[in-house]
Amino acid sequence: MQIQLTTTQPLSADTLILPIQQTDDLPEVLNALANRFNLTPAALQHDFKADFREVLLLYQSEGRKTYLLGLGKELTAMIWLRAFRELFFRQKDRLTPTVGVDLSGFDADVIESVVLGIRWGGYDLKLHSTDKPKTTEFYSEEGVLEIYIADQQQGIAEEVLHRAEAIAATHRQMLDLMNSPSNYKIPQVLADWAIASGRQHGYSVTVFDKAEIERQGLLALLSVNKGSEHPPVFIIAEYKPDNLPDAKKVGLVGKGVTFDTGGISIKPSTGMHLMKSDMGGAAAVLGTMEIAAKLRLPVHLIGIIPATENMVDGHATKPGDVIGSYLGKTIEVIDTDAEGRIILADGLGYMVRNFQPDVLIDLATLTGSVIGTLGYHAAGLFSNNDDLTSQLLKSATQTGERLWPLPLWDVYKEDILSDVADLKNFSGKPLAGAISAAKFLEVFTEAHPAWAHLDIAGMAFTDTEFGTQKNATGFGIRLLIDFLRNG
């Protein structure tokens, strides 16, 4: 599907989308539309209230179709994205090859969310089905999306469209990675994706295999991998902007558990099949690295992904074992299902020792505790830096990928005290689990002054209109790109 910007409304689009906000002026807007389409104003006002995601289809005498799309009262980036995503997903079989969207009454900035929503609306979750439906005409190579904009918006609209297309293409690949079952997505698959992306978009990628991981002393990662037949990988990606030797250096660390049984502390069978998604942090980091390189953002970006499975066999790490780590600290493993923080310990330690970033951010589908606290509406934000917290919250508001700050008080250190090692990986308490996990990770940042931990467990894989089970959202990519652009 091709996208064209135009300041006029040509007749080539047989389907027109008119987004409408729910404002005090709505009666006047609907009166004007009634006159335009030869409708009775009272009937239109009765049938359409412009509620969020409300859709009213109007047929015109010459055969054109017009969808009135309600946006609700408060316009945000996520409102735009979700409204268009659902409309195009639900109606994709009914769309004509050319579709027009009238954004002439809105700022050009909304183009990003609209395009992301429309691209995402064509997503096919049936990655390995032998009975895949035929691609609809609109979402085929011959399909055309015409976006109508105001004359004065042309310049900014082109810039926004370029950014939206860069994000959308990578985002789709991250959805595929996250939704792929674990037999199609061993750790090496993440490494291969990163290598191919780096070659295509001009950033460096180094992958440590198991022998190099052993040589480097990444003992925490090795301990989680012991029960798996597939070796771990340690991915290091680095993007440097041209001619900016003093660019801000940002380090991203993402949890890359490609399948999580819980290890010896095995999970219940109900829902375990969804543990193919336990690499949501890795997906956010991989996606952000590629998009930053595509957009040539003026930031020095390093991404580290420790990747492994967490499986069960006779070699697996046992509860009560004491393991090492890259920084030399010893960890008492109370619960092998708290494996994400263990591999992040090596990722964070390697990052701070070898790259000394100005800003350090890790992302992980880490705890069920954060879901118990925030549900499926926000990720937990833990940070030791007020300015970084403020910047991330601003990007969260801008993108609609919500964050909520939770405390890092030192009183919670007692939850990770060990009798036999430097610290333990799990408090054993049925409370404050997300906080104690963050306190564990904090130890491996070596008191970095600008660190943030994002627990995205409730946001990376959730219910959507695309399937009957939870599926990937790509959470964190848009948030991080906005942060890198504006932070």
> What's the pLDDT tens digit per position in 161-178?
999 999 999 999 999 999
Mean pLDDT of the chain: 96
Q: Alpha carbon 405 to chain centroid distance?
A: 18
pLDDT recorded at residue 127: 92
Confidence of residue 485 (pLDDT cuts 50, 70, 90): very high
Q: How confident is the model over 194-198, as a mean pLDDT? A: 98
> What's the pLDDT tens digit per position in 208-260?
999 999 999 999 999 999 999 999 999 999 999 999 999 999 999 999 999 99
DSSP annotation of 10: -
Q: Which of 210, 226, 341, 478 is catalytic?
A: 341
* Beta-carbon count within 10 A of 38 CB: 9
pLDDT of 76 strictly over 90: yes
What are the phi and psi torsion angles at 111 (to 5°)? -60, -35
Task: State how far the Cα of 284 lies from the Cα of 460, in Å rounded to an integer.
Answer: 9
Q: Alpha carbon 410 to chain centroid distance?
A: 30
Q: Is 260 annotated as a binding residue?
A: yes
Task: State how far the Cα of 422 lies from the Cα of 402, in Å rounded to an integer.
Answer: 34
Q: Alpha carbon 67 to chain centroid distance?
A: 29
Q: Give every CB contact of residue 24 below 8 A, 6+ residues apart in sequence.
A: none
Q: How confident is the model over 189-207, as a mean pLDDT? A: 98
pLDDT recorded at residue 10: 64
Percentage of the residues of the chain whose pLDDT score is greater than 90: 93
Judged on CB neighbours under 10 Å (0-12, 13-18, 19+), 301 is buried
pLDDT recorded at residue 8: 79
pLDDT recorded at residue 289: 98
Q: Give every CB contact of residue 159 below 8 A, 6+ residues apart in sequence.
A: none
pLDDT of 7 strictly over 80: yes
Active site residue 267: yes
Q: Is 410 annotated as a binding residue?
A: no
Confidence of residue 24 (pLDDT cuts 50, 70, 90): very high
The secondary structure element, H or E, covering residue 115 is: helix 110-121
Residue with tokens 């099949």: 273
pLDDT recorded at residue 175: 97
pLDDT recorded at residue 310: 98
Q: Which of 267, 394, 402, 470 is catalytic?
A: 267
Q: Is 276 annotated as a binding residue?
A: no
pLDDT of 84 strictly over 90: yes
Nearest to 481, CA basis, from 311, 286, 331, 313: 286
DSSP for 46-103, please give it.
HH----TT-EEEEE-TTS-EEEEEE--SS--HHHHHHHHHHHHHHHTTT--SEEEEE-
> What's the pLDDT tens digit per position in 270-287?
999 999 999 999 999 999
pLDDT recorded at residue 60: 83
DSSP for 139-202, please give it.
TSTT-EEEEE--GGGHHHHHHHHHHHHHHHHHHHHHHHHHHS-GGG--HHHHHHHHHHHHHHHT
The secondary structure element, H or E, covering residue 114 is: helix 110-121
The secondary structure element, H or E, covering residue 320 is: none
Confidence of residue 11 (pLDDT cuts 50, 70, 90): low
- Domains of the chain (ranges plus CATH)? 2-167 (3.40.220.10), 180-486 (3.40.630.10)
Active site residue 185: no
Confidence of residue 52 (pLDDT cuts 50, 70, 90): very high
CA torsion sign, 476 to 478 to 479 to 481?
positive
Q: Alpha carbon 93 to chain centroid distance?
A: 27
> What's the pLDDT tens digit per position in 391-405?
999 999 999 999 999
What are the phi and psi torsion angles at 284 (to 5°)? -65, -40
Q: How confident is the model over 89-98, as a mean pLDDT? A: 94
DSSP for 213-272, please give it.
HHHHT-HHHHHHHTT-SSPPEEEEEEE--TT-TTPPEEEEEE-EEEEE--TTSPPPSTTG
CA torsion sign, 169 to 171 to 175 to 176?
positive
DSSP for 338-400, please give it.
--HHHHHHHHHHHHHHHT--SEEEEEE---HHHHHHHTTS-EEEEES-HHHHHHHHHHHHHHS
Nearest to 338, CA basis, from 235, 276, 267: 267
Q: Is 337 annotated as a binding residue?
A: yes
Residue type, 484: L
pLDDT of 266 strictly over 70: yes
Task: State how far the Cα of 130 lies from the Cα of 285, in Å rounded to an integer.
Answer: 31
Q: How confident is the model over 24-36, as a mean pLDDT? A: 94
pLDDT recorded at residue 149: 95
* Tokens (6 digits) for 155: 């310049």
Confidence of residue 22 (pLDDT cuts 50, 70, 90): very high
Q: Is 151 annotated as a binding residue?
A: no
